[in-house]
Amino acid sequence: MARIESHGLRRSVGLGGLFATAYGNVGSSIYYALGLVAAYALGLTPVIFMLAGALFALTAKTYAEGASMFPEAGGSSSFARHAFNEFISFFAGWALSLDYILTIAISAFFVPNYLGAFWPFLDHPPGDIIGGIVVVIILAVLNVRGIGESAKLNFFLAIADLLTQVLIIVVGGFLILDPKRLVDQVSLGSTPTWGHTIFALSLAMLAYTGIETVSNMAEEASDPDHDLPKAVNLILLAVLGVYAGITVVALSALPVHGHGPHAYTNLGGKYQADPVLGIIAHLGLPGGVQHVLRYYVGLLAATILFIATNAGLIGISRLSWSLAEHRQLPMLFARLHPRYHTPWFTILFFSGFAAALLLPGIVLGTGEINFLGDLYSYGAMLSFTTAHAAIIALRLKQPDARRPFMIKVNVRIRGKPVPVSALVGLVGTTAAWISVMVLHVDARYVGTGWMIVGVTGYVLYRRREGMDLTSHYRMPHRERPPWFVELEYRSALVPIFGTDVDASALRTAAKLVGEDASVEAVYILAVPNQLSLDAGLEAEETRGYEVLEAARLTGRRAGLRVQTRLIRTRSPGAAIVEEAQRTGAEVIYLGTQHAPPSERALGPTASYLLGHRPCRVVIETPAVSSR
């Protein structure tokens, strides 16, 4: 497995992890997008989702090529940096930040609506609004304290979600599917009207939130050349298949009533805030089975939406860190909490915006979520349009650049191969953005205001710092120290915690090895989930090198050959196990005297080592005083 040393990235996420994380975000949108789109598309809802899905497919190909070229956080902002300049990069990143805020707000809003399966007061205002704000507050506090993500849990929930959606499609297909009824519900130009059809098409892109997730996780992919494009294709197939099946079953369960401008479906009316629960209520299942399935789906949907809300917070944290690192946002957005080492200001700043966007719902009711959906489409179309334009520009400017995944169907422009999918996608997303501007008045003013504020702030910040608007700047990183030595053969591995400046762990470990033994002292720099793995963390990194230098000197005095290494990771236990396997260490000595309080007994790292030990593990914990 690829690994990270010093300033590099620890790549540990495989194809399954990429698929699960991205599907958890993209697939979760079915729990709210279905009702919002059906309110306008009526009987054309399946067609609208497929048309939006075609545009999503074009965009997914663009992200697959871009993310394989630049496996780093930032998505469209990163592509634009390489294709254009820092100003365009910031423009795309600021539009993307709006989408992350809205992902947080929308996902949080629907958590209480699905918990309404247990507590009915949560499925309507003000219960759902208050509940959504509480979800945002809880996750903001947890993220400041450094909440972690469980890849295994995400994978399990994503698969459970996918299987549940397939089950609903299969059961609905057998019990209530009526093709003739589906056809009879549509009268082009009348039911729905052309205006509502166009409106629904622009809104339907809300269904495909989360494609940026793959790009933002690119820097953690174990094999980005192979896994990123494959993950995108798998997500594409899964999402399009689920939406095709669910929408058909949904309109069989909750058909359109009436004709013309007064036509309606309860899918976009009574059940707009919890459409999947509405489908279950009309599948014709026996009462007991229906109740069990309702509770199960309500809990599953609420859990997945809760995780999607958290993913939005982590995503905006990583994005804003990337923007600050490239000097596109003030350094305040890269400031870490002195105790938890998380970007506390970024978390509180953007979660505050998300909570504020929910407040008008107390007055607007269901109109609140329509507004949030419109606003999301505004930001998403800007971000997607920039991504397509960047990929086209890169083909023209850097035709010979390395492209592990390259879109196959191309046309020649100026003698260079330009992907047809990016050209068509560029036209499609631009047209969709224009339709949002024309048809969604609130989104037009609020979204444009957001972009104006951001661009104005960018210009003022750059001018104040003496930087021009288009050149690339970056926060300085500490150079690799001259005493950094590559490792060859080891027999003992000593993980060292941040405060062990007197190298007590190494001194104790020295007693376990012979005179001719080689010892590797490893400083594990745990990077919070809210930050990119290559985030600055200069103070923490400097302390790490100081600790390693003390360990090296201690080893020299003891007559040991001590090698040192600093490794960044999100999972200290997994990093230690992998390092021990790579070096063939015979023993791992873990002293927890200087560890954080949560690690001083048998904490998460020690437990992981004992559960996955690749060799003998010796753990020394502090003595417990008795009184």
Q: DSSP string covering 489-553, please?
A: --SEEEEE-TT-TT-HHHHHHGGGS-TT-EEEEEEEEEPPTTS-TT---HHHHHHHHHHHHHHHH
The backbone torsions φ and ψ at residue 590, rounded to the nearest 5 degrees and listed phi first, read: -120, 110
Q: What pLDDT shows up at residue 435?
A: 85
Taking 90 as the threshold, does the pLDDT of residue 385 lie above it?
Answer: yes
Which of the pair, 41 or 487, is modelled with greater confidence? 41
pTM value is 0.74
Taking 80 as the threshold, does the pLDDT of residue 26 lie above it?
Answer: no
Which range among 112-116, 236-240, 300-304, 468-472 shows the weakest confidence by mean pLDDT?
A: 236-240
The answer to whether 567 and 522 are in contact (CB under 8 A) is yes
Q: What pLDDT shows up at residue 272?
A: 86
Residue-averaged pLDDT of the chain: 80
Q: How much is the average pLDDT of 250-277?
A: 87
Q: How much is the average pLDDT of 470-479?
A: 68
Taking 90 as the threshold, does the pLDDT of residue 28 lie above it?
Answer: no
Taking 60 as the threshold, does the pLDDT of residue 362 lie above it?
Answer: no
Q: How much is the average pLDDT of 390-411?
A: 89
Q: How does residue 623 score in pLDDT terms, banded at 50, 70 and 90?
A: low
The answer to whether 221 and 150 are in contact (CB under 8 A) is no
The backbone torsions φ and ψ at residue 335, rounded to the nearest 5 degrees and listed phi first, read: -75, 135
CATH of 15-364+376-381, one of 3.40.50.740, 1.10.1760.20, 1.20.1740.10, 2.60.40.10: 1.20.1740.10
Q: What pLDDT shows up at residue 147?
A: 64
Q: What pLDDT shows up at residue 524?
A: 83
Q: What do you get for the CA distance between the two ends of the chain, in Å?
A: 48
Q: What pLDDT shows up at residue 168?
A: 92
The backbone torsions φ and ψ at residue 87, rounded to the nearest 5 degrees and listed phi first, read: -65, -45
Q: How much is the average pLDDT of 597-616?
A: 75
Q: How much is the average pLDDT of 44-56?
A: 88
Q: How does residue 11 score in pLDDT terms, banded at 50, 70 and 90?
A: very low
Please report, rounded to a whole number, the percentage of residues in the chain having pLDDT higher than 70.
82
Q: How does residue 64 score in pLDDT terms, banded at 50, 70 and 90?
A: confident
Taking 60 as the threshold, does the pLDDT of residue 3 lie above it?
Answer: no
Q: What pLDDT shows up at residue 526?
A: 82
| Alpha-carbon distances, residue 522 vs 148, 493, 519, 586, 619 (angstroms) | 22, 7, 10, 15, 15
Tokens coding 146: 């450094």
Q: What is the pLDDT of residues 445-466, one digit of tens each?
A: 999 999 999 999 999 999 999 9
Q: How much is the average pLDDT of 545-560?
A: 77
* Residue 150, Cβ density class (10 Å: 0-12 exposed, 13-18 middle, ≥19 buried): exposed
* Domain spans in the chain, listed from the N-terminal domain onward: 15-364+376-381, 492-620
Q: What is the DSSP letter of 123?
A: S
As assigned by CATH, the class of the 492-620 domain is alpha beta
Taking 70 as the threshold, does the pLDDT of residue 358 lie above it?
Answer: yes
Q: How much is the average pLDDT of 377-384?
A: 87
Smallest CA-to-CA distance from 50 within 248, 193, 186 is with 248
Tokens coding 267: 């899918």
Which range among 66-70, 425-429, 464-468, 527-531 shows the weakest confidence by mean pLDDT?
A: 527-531
Q: What is the pLDDT of residues 481-497, one digit of tens each?
A: 332 333 333 478 888 87
Q: What is the pLDDT of residues 340-356, one digit of tens each?
A: 777 889 999 999 999 98
Q: How much is the average pLDDT of 67-85?
A: 83
Tokens coding 358: 């929910």
Q: How much is the average pLDDT of 151-157?
A: 71
Bridging pattern class, strands 264-265 and 256-257: antiparallel
Taking 70 as the threshold, does the pLDDT of residue 335 lie above it?
Answer: yes
